[in-house]
Amino acid sequence: MEADFSWIYLVIFLMVPLARILPRVLKKYKIGGFQSQEVPQRQFESDFNRYEDQSDKQFQSTPTQSQEVPNSSKPQTKNMLVLGELHRGVRLFENVQKNTGLTNEELNSILEDLETKGLMKTQEKPGLMGGTKTELVPTDKGFKEYYS
């Protein structure tokens, strides 16, 4: 005669819900009926006004003599703008153009200028559909120029 151990499954599957419900029930009776309903209401309150005030102060404050506007250490010429995009890992012409907002002619002349100065080079790589794609890669000289 075999022993019937199916009651073990019943105990295991009832323990999980009871383990979640029992602490809530005990907490409710310890705190007292209606006070436990206030906690979930405060749980979803946020302090957005504090963050709005901080961002307003950050953008609306006018610099004084003791408080200077943080200047970028890099000159914001178009060449440096494109070189910066190349250093951030942007490799395709279309993506550089999208990030900088330059026209085709402007970007083309800037890239030619960077290539003649030796700050950038192009690499031909096989594309997905059997064609080739041209990637723009900054050189070591380009890194030194950008970070100096």
Q: What is the pLDDT of residues 72-116, one digit of tens each?
A: 454 578 888 898 889 888 898 999 999 888 999 999 999 999 999
Question: What's this model's pTM, rounded to 2 decimal places?
Answer: 0.48
What are 23's two structure tokens?
Answer: 């602490």
Q: pLDDT value at position 31? A: 62
Q: Does domain 78-147 have CATH number 2.40.70.10?
A: no
- Higher-scoring residue by pLDDT: 133, 60: 133
Q: Where do the domains of the chain lie? A: 1-62, 78-147
Q: Residue 9's pLDDT band (boundaries 50, 70, 90)?
A: confident
**Please, what is the Cα angle at 137 between 133 and 141, to 5 degrees?**
155
Q: pLDDT value at position 35? A: 47
Q: pLDDT value at position 66? A: 45
Q: Quick one: the chain helix, strand, coil %, rounded to 5?
A: 60, 10, 30
Q: How far apart are the first and last CA of the chain?
A: 87
Q: What is the pLDDT of residues 11-51, one digit of tens each?
A: 888 888 888 888 888 888 876 554 444 445 444 555 555 55
Q: Compute CA 57 distance to the chain's CA centroid, rounded to the nearest angstrom.
A: 23
pLDDT surpasses 50 at 70: no
Q: pLDDT value at position 1? A: 59
